[in-house]
Amino acid sequence: MAAGAMFAAAYAAAAQTNAAPAPAAAVSAAAAGEQWRARCIAERRSICGKIVRIFPNGLLVECGYTNLLRAPLTKSWLAPGSVTAVRAENLVETREPGALCAGTVLLTDPPRGKPHLYDYVIIAGYPTGEFTYTSVGTIQKTVRRFSANLDKAVKANLAAASSASRPPP
């Protein structure tokens, strides 16, 4: 009986030590990913606006159309350009998660659908940096860039952080 108990104890100990500890780099990468995820969620914005230009990598959206947040329109992320919408005057963007976005932004990674010029978008966006484009002639404008997909926003921020070799906040 004692030999059986000893075998069981030795087997249990061996089973507990089979898992190799995770490398420090993998743990720190996972921690950085979670930090970026938390930051993206904390800085997300409600993008309610008109598509003013379509780029291969996203939609340029003029935000501030708060009256798009009404019952029949909020069932989809995309509303046709024939919808009656007016841009809010004196809209101030707050720093709270999910606050209404003000100004012009680039929206990347939209859900399925075929957006057209001057259609409206109603969607949550997660910050992924900035985007510079040429508006007229040689005039360049820089706007904030948001992703409609949280996972892609985290990956974009991780890639930008690793290329700039800066730690997450």
Global pTM exceeds 0.75: yes
Helices (H), 1-115: 2-16, 24-42
Q: Where are the domains of the chain?
A: 45-164
Length reported for the chain: 169
Rounded to the nearest 10°, the torsion over CA 101, 102, 106, 109 is: 10
pLDDT in single tens digits along all 169 residues of the chain: 455 544 444 444 444 555 555 555 555 777 888 999 999 999 999 999 999 999 999 999 999 999 999 888 889 999 999 999 999 999 999 999 999 999 999 999 999 989 999 999 999 999 999 999 998 999 999 999 999 999 999 999 999 988 876 555 5
Question: What is the dihedral sign for C-alpha 58, 59, 61, 66?
Answer: negative
Distances from the Cα of 78 to the Cα of 71, 89, 111, 112, 116, angstroms: 13, 22, 9, 10, 10
